[in-house]
Copies of this chain bind each other. A is one copy, B any other.
Amino acid sequence: MKKHIFNAGPCKLPRIVLENTSKAILDLEKCGLSIMEVSHRSKEFQAVIDEAMDLFKELLNIPDNYSVLFLGGGASTQFCMIPYNLLNKKAAYINTGAWSTKAIKEAKLFGEVDVIASSEDKGFTYVPKEYNIPADADYLHITSNNTIKGTELKYDIDCNIPLIADMSSDIMSRPVDVSKYDIIYGGCQKNIGPAGVTFVVIKDGILGKVDRAIPTMLNYETHIKKGSMFNTPPCSAIFTVKETLKWIKSLGGVKEMEKRAIEKSDMIYNAIDNSKMFVGTVAKEDRSRMNICFVLKDEYKEKEADFLKFTAERNIVGIKGHRSVGGFRASNYNACEMEDVEALVKAMKDFEVKYA
């Protein structure tokens, strides 16, 4: 029976993407070689990575003065690459949770870090909106979605200094005004593909302004110059990203993804808000469309394991909350379908009939 997958990433991917990847593992475009066997210098693979980059640019309406990179090492490697390449004296960070905290930790190795706002005072359950951006900072770094706690900055902020955003969990889930950012980056394993490949959207002319020597693989210039092919890229993962972007385009692009994300997340949040047993954990205006976090009310707390068992019996997978939060988290990325959401909402209601 079909599983309803709410994993936080790696996560559900569109069936057609899995099928096309599965076929390409046996034979890429009838060339007689697997996507894992073709040389990264072959015309076959060049076509794959070119299409992935072109689709990325098209779907996000990226201006011409930006490059799109596909790298290894995960968004976690970007946490140090960003200050390595861009932090001269001081950088500003907004701390909205575990991932921001990790990014801040790395930046501190390279210079002064001004944490201009933080929602740590309330357990990262909201997005700070009051802060002053220091004009003398080299950049402001934000994490647009907090995957663990379930908050999301659902619009592009104005910023008087270069803006850098970790969009690991919300990339391609809404239109973005890319021109407001110097760098947008993230792991692909949520909205646009499998684990093992990291995207970086980077504006021309922002490099070369720090004095330190940068190791070749950590220098964005290396990858921009070589079109992400300085070294052997994660070829097969890039193929799957390309297929996922094709699928997004076929459905109507990021505007349609946003519409669906709103519909699906509203449905779950409505179920939470109308529930006797469940309660949301995040300030309503900052609720993430991607990661919907909720817990049982105090009087029902002991039913947590029961709800996980109840949902598992209905083939609902991946709704256990992050170990640092507890409770439940339903991740509603692009590939999550309305029927998955309906199954979850029905399970919540049925559980309530049984136990409330």
Q: Decide yes or no whether A18 CB sits under 8 A from chain B.
A: yes
Most chain B CB neighbours (cut-off 10 Å) among A9, A26, A217: A217
A107-126 contacts to B (CB < 8 Å): 109
Q: Decide yes or no whether A105 CB sits under 8 A from chain B.
A: yes
Chain B residues positioned under 8 Å from A213 (CB to CB):
109
A167-216 contacts to B (CB < 8 Å): 187, 189, 194-197, 213, 215-216
Report the interface size for chain A: residues with CB under 8 A from the other chain.
Answer: 63
Partner of A38, one of B7, B79, B237: B7
Chain B minimum-CB-distance residue to A3: B32
Chain B residues positioned under 8 Å from A217 (CB to CB):
73-74, 76-77, 79-80
Chain B residues positioned under 8 Å from A160 (CB to CB):
none
| Cα distance, A213 to B236, chains bound together (Å) | 34
Partner of A196, one of B1, B9, B33, B197: B197
B9 and A232 form a contact (CB under 8 A):
yes
A307-354 contacts to B (CB < 8 Å): 315, 317-318
Chain B residues positioned under 8 Å from A13 (CB to CB):
34, 36-37
B5 and A33 form a contact (CB under 8 A):
yes
Q: Decide yes or no whether A102 CB sits under 8 A from chain B.
A: yes
Q: Decide yes or no whether A22 CB sits under 8 A from chain B.
A: yes
Chain B minimum-CB-distance residue to A23: B22
| Cα distance, A317 to B44, chains bound together (Å) | 13
Chain B minimum-CB-distance residue to A26: B22
Chain B minimum-CB-distance residue to A232: B195
Chain B residues positioned under 8 Å from A235 (CB to CB):
10, 194-196
Partner of A216, one of B26, B80, B236: B80
| Cα distance, A19 to B272, chains bound together (Å) | 43
A36 and B19 form a contact (CB under 8 A):
no
B233 and A105 form a contact (CB under 8 A):
no
Chain B residues positioned under 8 Å from A19 (CB to CB):
26
Partner of A315, one of B10, B32, B215, B234: B32
| Cα distance, A350 to B132, chains bound together (Å) | 76
B12 and A37 form a contact (CB under 8 A):
yes
With known contacts A26-B19, A80-B215, A217-B76, A232–B10 Cβ distance under 8 A: yes
Q: Decide yes or no whether A274 CB sits under 8 A from chain B.
A: no
A259-311 contacts to B (CB < 8 Å): none
| Cα distance, A13 to B33, chains bound together (Å) | 10
Q: Decide yes or no whether A230 CB sits under 8 A from chain B.
A: yes
- Which of A's residues lie within 8 Å of B, judged by CB? 1-3, 5, 7-13, 18-19, 21-23, 25-26, 32-34, 36-40, 71-77, 79-80, 84, 102, 105-106, 109, 187, 189, 194-197, 213, 215-218, 230-237, 240, 315, 317-318
CB pairs A–B below 8 angstroms (11 shown): A3-B32, A25-B25, A32-B315, A76-B230, A77-B217, A80-B216, A102-B216, A106-B215, A106-B216, A195-B233, A195-B235
